[in-house]
């Protein structure tokens, strides 16, 4: 999904899907709307539900090799930004409803969830920085052993292998020592907010810095999901159905933050989040399917102790480990076959590193955009009230 999908205003809402009131539709149709709603409202809300479902079906329609890859995570960010923009338009089109109870409370609850998500964005930013530190160690290995840096007519010597082995050992330690390295990065106090925007972000000053040493991704996800319940019948009626898009967006927010924590190294990761929503919602099946598949991935023998389920992290760890084991076993001078095998393993590591370089920075920009979009939506909501 191209990033331009979420630029500017939402595209026209078309192709109405199943009702967004699968549990309460008969109740809603059986009585007059207490606040003067119109059929166009229901059509708009149903269309939003279908758009969310279609996007998550698209995310779920991938192979195991594509799931949790950098391109897939970037696509997940696009999906969130698109949903967030369409949700913002719905709230804008129903400003009068937003100000009335019980809608004001439901919106306040959603805003609290988004504020908690800001810390997750900061933790993910720290995790991306952590991956960059690993890439620097890989660069040392490539510089020492890569055929592009040394003529193939020049044999690899002990000095080059010593340098590469040291970097590989440092990389293995860094990838294992998730907790300490994550805390060290978090303590650098990096911020998504720029100095030029300090006035508009002042309300979020305490939440716009990287997370503290005691912060826990697992606890934060639980806080985002707390009391995320299907709106009661009287709430659906009193809000003319607007409670349902708010509930949907709350679940989208929770799943996206959970998937980010699953994929990217961050402090005190934990995937023990339960998604309890009725399967009648059109978006329920793809989200539950993705949740199950990601959990299954985390339980695999070679992924249980991983600091992140990102596909490229797994490839980086595997390639560097195999190269390290090979480097430990070589004897000098290298024979032609051994040197050819070294070049092959180095090339595999280089391909993984190049893939990281290509997608890591765009992903960071998307996470930053999610952060700012949440802040901007929250500020707009406060201004309107």
**What's the alpha-carbon Rg for the chain, to the nearest Å?**
24
The Cα 317–Cα 138 span in angstroms is 11
The Cα 351–Cα 316 span in angstroms is 10
pLDDT for the residue numbered 385: 53
**Is residue 200's pLDDT more than 70?**
no
* CB 316, CB 134: distance < 8 Å: yes
Structure-model confidence comparison of residues 102 and 383, the more confident one: 102
Q: pLDDT tens digits, residue range 181-191? A: 444 444 443 44
Token digits for 184? 């060290």
As a whole-number percent, the residues of the chain with pLDDT over 70 amount to: 78
Q: pLDDT tens digits, residue range 72-126? A: 999 999 999 999 999 999 999 998 888 899 999 999 999 999 999 999 999 999 9
Q: pLDDT tens digits, residue range 132-143? A: 999 999 999 999
**What's the mean pLDDT in 170-182?**
70
Burial class (CB in 10 A: 0-12, 13-18, 19+), 140: middle
pLDDT for the residue numbered 301: 86
Q: Is residue 17 very low, low, confident or very high in pLDDT (cuts 50, 70, 90)?
A: very low
- CB within 8 Å of 256: residues ≥ 6 apart: 76, 77, 79, 80
The Cα 184–Cα 343 span in angstroms is 35
Q: Is residue 176 very low, low, confident or very high in pLDDT (cuts 50, 70, 90)?
A: confident
Structure-model confidence comparison of residues 335 and 352, the more confident one: 352
Token digits for 151? 């003529």
Least confident span in 143-152, 160-169, 176-185, 354-363: 176-185
The Cα 201–Cα 205 span in angstroms is 6
The Cα 180–Cα 330 span in angstroms is 33
Q: How far is CA 192 from CA 76, 162, 214, 372, in A?
A: 20, 39, 20, 8
Q: Is the pTM of this model over 0.85?
A: no
Q: pLDDT tens digits, residue range 24-71? A: 444 333 333 333 446 678 899 999 999 999 999 999 999 999 999 999
In eight-state DSSP terms, residue 19 is -
**What's the mean pLDDT in 160-166?**
92
The Cα 264–Cα 126 span in angstroms is 9
pLDDT for the residue numbered 382: 62
**Is residue 15's pLDDT more than 90?**
no
pLDDT for the residue numbered 25: 40
Structure-model confidence comparison of residues 311 and 176, the more confident one: 311
pLDDT for the residue numbered 39: 67
pLDDT for the residue numbered 53: 98
Q: pLDDT tens digits, residue range 225-282? A: 999 999 999 999 999 999 999 999 999 999 999 999 999 999 888 888 989 899 999 9
């Amino acid at each position: 999904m191209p990033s331009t999908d979420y630029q500017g205003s939402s595209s026209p809402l078309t192709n109405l899907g199943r009702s967004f009131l699968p549990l309460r539709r008969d109740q809603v149709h059986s009585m007059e709307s207490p606040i003067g709603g119109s059929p166009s409202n229901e059509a708009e809300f149903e269309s939003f539900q279908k758009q969310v479902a279609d996007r998550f079906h698209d995310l779920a329609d991938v192979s195991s090799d594509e799931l949790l890859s950098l391109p897939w995570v970037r696509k997940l960010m696009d999906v969130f930004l698109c949903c967030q923009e369409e949700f913002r338009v719905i709230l804008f089109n129903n400003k009068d409803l937003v100000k009335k109870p019980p809608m004001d409370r439901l919106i306040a609850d959603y805003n609290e969830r988004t504020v908690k998500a800001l810390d997750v964005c900061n933790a993910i930013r720290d995790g991306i920085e952590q991956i960059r530190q690993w890439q620097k160690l890989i660069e040392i290995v490539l510089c020492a052993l890569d055929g592009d840096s040394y003529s193939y007519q020049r044999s690899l010597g002990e000095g080059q292998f010593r340098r590469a082995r040291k970097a590989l050992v440092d990389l293995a330690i860094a990838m294992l020592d998730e907790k300490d390295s994550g805390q060290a990065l978090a303590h650098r106090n990096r911020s998504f907010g720029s100095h030029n925007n300090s006035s508009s972000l002042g309300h979020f000053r305490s939440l716009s810095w990287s997370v503290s040493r005691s912060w826990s991704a697992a606890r934060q996800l639980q806080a985002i999901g707390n009391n995320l319940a299907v709106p009661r019948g009287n709430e659906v009626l009193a809000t003319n159905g607007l409670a349902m898009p708010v509930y949907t967006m709350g679940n989208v927010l929770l799943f996206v933050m959970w998937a980010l924590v699953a994929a990217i190294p961050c402090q005190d990761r934990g995937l023990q989040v339960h998604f309890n929503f009725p399967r009648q919602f059109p978006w329920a099946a793809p989200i539950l399917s993705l949740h199950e598949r990601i959990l299954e991935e985390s339980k695999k023998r070679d992924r249980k102790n991983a600091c992140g389920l990102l596909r490229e992290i797994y490839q980086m760890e595997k390639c560097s480990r195999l190269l390290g084991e090979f480097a430990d076993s070589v004897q000098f001078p290298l024979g032609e076959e051994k040197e050819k095998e070294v070049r092959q393993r180095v090339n595999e590591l280089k391909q993984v590193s190049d893939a990281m370089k290509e997608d890591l920075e765009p992903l960071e920009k998307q996470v930053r955009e999610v952060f700012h979009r949440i802040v901007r939506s929250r500020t707009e909501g406060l201004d309107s009230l």
